[in-house]
Structure 1
Amino acid sequence: MRFLTACCLLLFLWSCSDDTPPVPKPRSYPRVDYPQRAYTPLGADYCSFTFERPASTRVVRETSYFDEAPADSCWFNLRLAPALNGTIHFSYYPVSSYAQWEELRDEAFELVGVHNQRASDIEEIVIHRDSARVHGVAFDIAGPAASPFQFFLTDTTRHFLRGALYFETQVNPDSLAPVIDYVKEDIYRIVETLRWEGANKG
């Protein structure tokens, strides 16, 4: 009887065995509550341009840059909604000569090039809005780079505006990808609605 019981137990255990290796559970990331999309004018009267910014952002004027005054009074940050935990940094330069414009353009490319060591790919997106005299390049930076998206906008004669997106968290392309895609749509809205407003108001 004991022998029969042991045989039945072994048969039961054998039938329950599975040679399939265990599969790790997919990594989960914190849920992000995205703000409802709505836009409002920039509202920075110290700048010579305006655009439609996400209503969920906060404009914070830059008063110092590495312990020095910014190159122009129109340096500011767009603080994203708290759930997104990031900032778009803006720096503006009034252009007085073609040589200065070339220098600013080259510097914008050089600043993006800093991320080459960690980026897996950098896509350049050419911007031309002829009717508004808005031209430039956006840089979509893939991989664990510190800044996943940068751009510059200019009329090539009087204005030069540079923007750079940064997140206040450790760079993880997988977990940040949905957030980056969400913020990129807002940046494209900025690019599409920017217009120059004449002389810088200082």
Structure 2
Amino acid sequence: MNKIVKLACLSIFLLLLWSCKEELLPKPNALLRLDYQLAQYERFDSDCAYQFDYNIDANLKVTEKCDITIQYPKMKATVYLTYRKVNNNINDLLKDAQKLTYEHVIKADDIIETPFINAQNKVYGMFYQVGGNAATNTQFYATDSIHHFVTGSVYFYAKPNFDSIMPAASYVKDDMKTLLETMSWKK
């Protein structure tokens, strides 16, 4: 009987030892950590009818019509600014700017409108934040209602997946807010 108990104890011990192996699982894919430097701004001043502060880490390109692209190569993003003169067509310009934003409503979870008023510089507009997997997540328009009208929107060169581009989108959104808040018209 002693041999049977010893054999049973040894069997149980070996069974427990064998069953206590650590289960092997594949390692999860690493997630990219996107950290960006604190933005430093510089004044954009040219022959165009408007000026603003922009992030010095971005690259600006200006067309003859004063349309501007602000490229963020590290983030694969571009902010497009379009300038139009107001010639008794302010309602059409406003409708076009709003239409551009609301074309994304199909993919958007929500659209948050924030009115913008800078009475000192006579800059009035709307800042839009588009939630979800839309092609552009931040847009705005600015005008003095008499002479000048500017629209701005950001596009990322990646499949719209807001969760993966959120740090970059937030960074560029802050730059676009600064751009709008510092915009002024030339006399």
Q: CA deviation at 1:13?
A: 5.0
SS of equivalent residue, structure 1 residue 32: coil
**Given the alignment of the two structures, is residue 128 of structure 1 paired with residue 120 of structure 2, yes or no?**
no
Pair 1:5 & 2:10 matched: yes
Structure 1 segments unaligned to the other structure (5+ residues): 64-72
What corresponds to 2:49 in structure 1? 48
Residue in structure 2 matched with residue 116 of structure 1 by the alignment: 105
**Which SS does the other structure have where 2:159 is aligned?**
coil
Offset of residue 192 of structure 1: 1.2
Deviation at 1:36, TM superposition (A): 3.9
Cα RMSD, aligned residues only: 2.4
Contact between 1:32 and 1:83, CA under 8 Å: does it hold in 2?
no
2:43/2:51 contact within 8 Å kept = yes
Q: Distance in 2 between matches of 1:192 and 1:89?
A: 17
Q: Is the 8 A contact 1:32 1:84 kept in 2?
A: no
- Alignment partners' CA distance in 2, 1:164 and 1:50: 17
Partner of 1:40, secondary structure, is: strand
Q: What are the Cα deviations for residues 65-118 of structure 1, in whole angstroms up to 9, with x where unaligned?
A: xxxxxxxx11120112x2221000010101011xx1000001111111110000
**Structure 1 residues 5 and 171: alpha-carbon distance in aligned structure 2, compared to 1, 3 A threshold:** same
TM-score (ref. length: structure 2): 0.87
Q: Which position in structure 2 is the counterpart of 1:94?
A: 85
* Bigger CA radius of gyration: 2
Give the gaps of 5 or more residues in structure 2: 1-5
More strand by share: 2
Report the count of equivalent residues.
182
